[in-house]
Structure 1
Amino acid sequence: MKINILKKIGLIALIGMGCLTNIYASPLTGYWKSVDDRTGEALSIIEIKKLEDGTYGGFIVHRFAAPGGVALTNCTKCPEPYKNKPLLGMQILSGFIEDPKKENHFIHGKVLEAKSGKIFEGKGQLTTDGRRFRLRGFVGVSMLGRTQVWVKVNDPQAEINK
């Protein structure tokens, strides 16, 4: 009887810790649909995770086909070590950290643009509702860059099947 009570208490504690983890998880983590800022077309589904070193990284989990075409499958224009590697599973965001001075701002990142093969410095900002991520890639100064707006995806599989 005493062992059953201890098991129940342990189970309740584990469930409670899981709930706290979800409450305090960064709104940046999760699945995002990247959208081409020039055409408005969906490009990829990206999973953003907080990595062991405390930075955020983004990995391609799905690549959409271009309108009237096929999906880009390998990073043909990318520099080493990405050259000709499969895009699925590839890390295209790295090194992002939360800006200690501004809530929901992320700085000091790198962004790999799979289509051009270029690597940009990056920063981003979440909207107050956490549903959109304004990702800015630039060279040198932020003014010389582009911004894409990514949309948070609750169910990546449903998004892929659209």
Structure 2
Amino acid sequence: MFQFNTRGNAFAARAARRIVLAGALLGGVIAAHAQSNSPVGVWQTIDDHSGQPKALVQISEDGSGGLTGKIIKGLRANDQPDRRCTACTDSRKDQLILGMTIIDGMKQAGSEWDGGHILDPENGKVYRCKIHTEDGGQKLVVRGYLGISLLGRSQTWVRQQ
């Protein structure tokens, strides 16, 4: 009887270790999946007219559960690092575009983020904004609109590694 319990305990210990390991692996997979579907990260924007890469935008958590996005690099050959937002009409008027926060106030609403604003530094206009990820978090659909979401346009940004 004592020998059976020892084997049983050893078997139970091995089974418990396997369950813990499987749980840790599954937890890691779930965390990686959740992280990959998060809009937090660096995204390559695409120019609407030329279809060419335009800039890199870094989306970060703002500390209050929301998201912000900042231009961290221009990708066009004619981009100048000292370019300013001369068309902006708010506090960003004549500020450097590089380093400028263009997305703010985004709050999670289910599988998307909504309630924020996005600035188009080319024309200085500020739009309401909603975003969501696609393709396992590798693409970010960014919709800027006036009033209701139907009155707007979407861009698809690509995650950078």
Deviations 1:129-148 (A, max 9, x none): 10000100011111111111
State the 1:52 CA deviation.
0.9
Amino acid at match of 2:149: S
Partner of 2:146: 139
Q: After the TM superposition, which parts of structure 1 deviate over 3 Å for at least 4 consecutive aligned residues?
A: 22-26, 69-72
* Partner residue in 2 for 1:150: 157
Q: Are 1:28 and 2:27 counterparts? A: no
Identity between Structure 1 and Structure 2 (%): 27
Aligned match for 1:97, one of 101, 107, 115: 107
Q: How many residues align?
A: 131
Q: Does residue 51 of structure 2 align to residue 40 of structure 1? A: yes
Larger radius of gyration: 2
The TM-score with structure 1 as length reference comes to 0.73
Amino acid at match of 2:91: P
CA distance in 2, matches of 1:137, 1:38: 16
Matched, 1:123 2:130: yes
Residue of structure 2 in register with 1:80 after alignment: 90
What is the alpha-carbon distance in structure 2 between the residues aligned to residue 41 and residue 77 of structure 1? Answer: 22
The root-mean-square deviation of aligned C-alpha atoms, in Å, is: 2.2
Which letter does structure 1 place at the counterpart of 2:116? G
